[in-house]
Structure 1
Amino acid sequence: MDIKATALLNEMQSLKGEAQQLAPVNAPGPHQDFAALLTRAVDNVNGLQQSTDGLRTRFELGDESVSLEQVMIAAQKSGLAFDATVQVRNKVVEAYKTIMNMPV
């Protein structure tokens, strides 16, 4: 039985070494927390919506440098970004509720 345990341990150590070569645990580079990532995403959505509002206003006021196509594309981009952000929020809330309901 001791031989199998040793062989298993050797195999696990070999797999660990291969896994570390593929994706090192302590890889150098910037580490971001989730809050900062989420804040950037919300700021990006806000910027897209403000840009869309600006294009829409310019189009409504008769600015000939802004086409209807530009306004519609910007509106679709900001709408999709907002929907994606809402979906991420929903998943985070769902995960939070799941974690809170776990027995300790």
Structure 2
Amino acid sequence: MKISGLQSEMQTMALEAQNTTRPATAQQVNADFGDLLGNAIKSVNQLQGESSALQTRFDQGDRSVSLSDVMIARNKSSVAFEATVQVRNKLVETYKEMMNMPV
């Protein structure tokens, strides 16, 4: 999955949220966020698998796979993974801030 695809999906969800006349329940928000996060993690995993498969094919001497293809796939998976790690870090930071709030 392309990063721009994830971004456009998030923008679509934001527009849908703005056009909603009734407020979403906490369960709906949790389910939507959970689905979005799950899909993002699956796409990162898929990118890493494709990168690994291309590298294996290149290492085995497959002439249809060039070094540039391998490097591009590796960089895509690296960027997607780093973005996922940053999202996770932000979620943990937010959770810690919420837990430190006085009630």
Equivalent position SS for 2:19: coil
Which residue in the other structure is 1:25 paired with?
Answer: 20
Give the C-alpha shift of residue 85 in structure 1.
0.2
Which residue in the other structure is 1:84 paired with?
Answer: 83
The correspondence of residues 8-23 of structure 1 with structure 2, limited to 5 A, is 23=18
Task: Give the alignment's TM-score, normalised by structure 2.
Answer: 0.72
RMSD after superposition: 1.5
Equivalent position SS for 2:64: coil
In the alignment, the residues of structure 1 paired with residue 75 and residue 68 of structure 2 have an alpha-carbon distance, to the nearest angstrom, of 10
| Cα-to-partner distance string for 1:59-98 (whole Å, 9 max, x where unaligned) | 0000000000000000000000000000000000000000
The correspondence of residues 1-104 of structure 1 with structure 2, limited to 5 A, is 23-26=18-21, 33-104=32-103
Structure 1 runs not aligned, ≥5 long: 1-22
Give the C-alpha shift of residue 24 in structure 1.
3.1
Equivalent position SS for 1:33: helix
Structure 2 runs not aligned, ≥5 long: 1-17, 23-28
Q: Which runs of 4+ in 1 moved over 2 A?
A: 23-27
Identity of aligned residues (%): 56
Give the C-alpha shift of residue 26 in structure 1.
2.5
Bigger CA radius of gyration: 1
Give the C-alpha shift of residue 35 in structure 1.
1.1
Number of aligned residue pairs: 79
